[in-house]
Chains A and B, each alone.
Chain A
Amino acid sequence: MKKILLIFYGGTGLSDKKGNFKFVKEEQDVKEWLGLVPEFLMTAEIKTHVMTSDFLNKKNITDLIKIIEKNISKFDGIVITHQVNTIPALSNQLFWQIQNPSKPIVITGSNLIQREDSITPDLSFKANLINAFQIINSDLKEISVIYGNRVISPLRIKRSKLQDLNIFKSVGKKYLAKIDFGLSLEKTNERKGKMKFFYNFNEDFIFFNNIPDAMVLEKLLSKSSPINIFIFRAFPDQIIEKDKLIKIFDLACKNKKMVIFYSEVGFGKDFLKHNIITISKITADCLSAKLSWILGQTRDKHKIEELLKANIQGEFLAF
């Protein structure tokens, strides 16, 4: 049997026979919780660790990386539970902070189902965990997310449904594996390189899901503004009409701010004639995690731009 480290980092909701919610918040909750899932113990030898808090913040992520680095050599793989709302963000951050993992690291979690008069945990969580253990058995040396019958790479993951067998989809419909009773792994290019752990990452930037109006921009991009790096998601019409974006970019440069324009699908060719920074063909979660990783390695503007544009871990996709 494989030896698995199961890290509880939120997303642990299970219901007992009486229909009560059971969560793992502290070590003392583990025994009762595992008693609800005897099926797990037939599939793997499990050791557990409980994170002190469920929140997705820098301190917890750093602690999580430390636990993974300390234990990865002792186990055949690691399974992390986490609340489904922030699984894309967590998986992407780990994707950048732990590169070329030597063992499978699988993330999954419990969803909450809204019924007419109650909220209950999704019963498929048990199956998600069993599937996660099966991925460890398959030796898929990646950071991956399993939910429903799909195994998804962090750089492709997007939340597509509130409630369903599969609440996440993979950009380009490319999955690391699918589980239809049995596990079928897709062929992937095996990444070369030694496993690396990065503890430095920096979230001193703001990601706007649109471009604010001129008055707000003046304040955001002013010299006195405490934030120096911005990502603005460009509207579809702005990816061809670049004049507005150039004005914003020039204002930012004047005030020594860094502005990055983002569009999932791409920008018009005309943009190449200007030194405006545009990033596309990458998911928002992945870009956000990548930038925070970059800012943990360098604050040099040219280096930041160079790394942003470099395809370091296959993160640029065909949309």
Chain B
Amino acid sequence: MKIYYCANLDKVSEKKWEKRYVLIHKLLVKLGVSLVSNIEKKILKGDAEARKSISYDQIEAVIIEGTHIASDTVYIIATALAYKKPVLYLIEKGHSIPEQLLYIRNDKNLGEFFFLKFYKSDEKNIQSLLIEFLGSLESGHLIKEKFNIKFTLRISSRIERYLNWKFSKIKKSKAEYLRDLLLETAKNDKNYKAFLKKDHSF
């Protein structure tokens, strides 16, 4: 799952916010998300890897730490919503909702994909919000699950013979069958379920 995560780069010079933005970035990576982030270059200090250009139709959702709203945040949100990409907007408790966002919250068309959450400044709370959002994405409640990640699988002739026999019996394409098989495996994987619910402490 590809997510765009952005933070207010003007606040990175403040230790508290740098730590916070980095924490969220690390949590997302730990949760198995493929990230594109405006905070990448800041946290990979010294690592010259350049961020590749990516368009909105290649990401599933946008997550914003927006306690202090940046000047371009509203455009990022607007574009994400235009592409019908869910947006999770995080605000630390004790701070007010930026005025620029009141319009979205009052508009039923825009509000459908916009999720504003207040979080306590402890890692557990932040993580649980992220897990909840990612879970909603994966469940298909927020977005229809798309099969748009290409995966090359090399098989032996023995496996191929089995698959050819199997497909002749069931009314599914090879890709459909294999996807369903993997989904079923993931659903029944107790360790993976535990990983999703796991209480990470830092």
Interface residues of A (CB under 8 A from B): 1, 37-43, 123-124, 126-127, 130-131, 133-134, 137, 148-149, 165, 178, 180-183
Contacts and interface: CB of A to CB of B under 8 A. Distances in A.
Nearest to B4: A181
Contact of A42 (B4, B6, B56, B78): B78
B38 interface: yes
B55 A165 contact: yes
B13 to A, nearest CB: 17
Interface centre among B4, B79, B100, B103 (most CB of A within 10 A): B79
Interface residues of B, number: 27
Contacts, number: 66
B78 A43 contact: yes
Contacts of A38: 107, 109-110
A127 B51 contact: no
Given A42-B104, A42-B110, A43-B74, A181 B6 contact: yes
Interface of B: 4, 6, 36, 38, 51, 53-57, 71-72, 74-79, 81-83, 100, 103-104, 107, 109-110
A42 B100 contact: yes
B38 A39 contact: no
A79 B72 CA distance: 18
B117 to A, nearest CB: 19
A39 B6 contact: no
Contacts of B74: 42-43
Nearest to B83: A127
A133 B82 contact: no
B82 A126 contact: yes
Given A42-B74, A42-B103, A127 B79 contact: yes
Contacts of B36: 181
A180 B81 CA distance: 16
A267 B72 CA distance: 45
B75 A130 contact: yes
A226 B84 CA distance: 56
B77 A42 contact: yes
Contacts of B83: 123, 126-127
Question: What are the nearest 9 A-B pairs in CB distance?
Answer: A126-B82, A39-B78, A134-B75, A42-B103, A39-B82, A130-B78, A38-B109, A182-B72, A130-B79
B81 A39 contact: yes
Contact of A182 (B6, B54, B81): B6
Contacts of A130: 75, 78-79, 82
Contacts of A182: 6, 38, 72, 76
Nearest to B53: A180
B71 A127 contact: no
Contact of B54 (A131, A137, A180): A180
A131 B75 contact: yes
Contact of A137 (B55, B56, B75, B82): B75
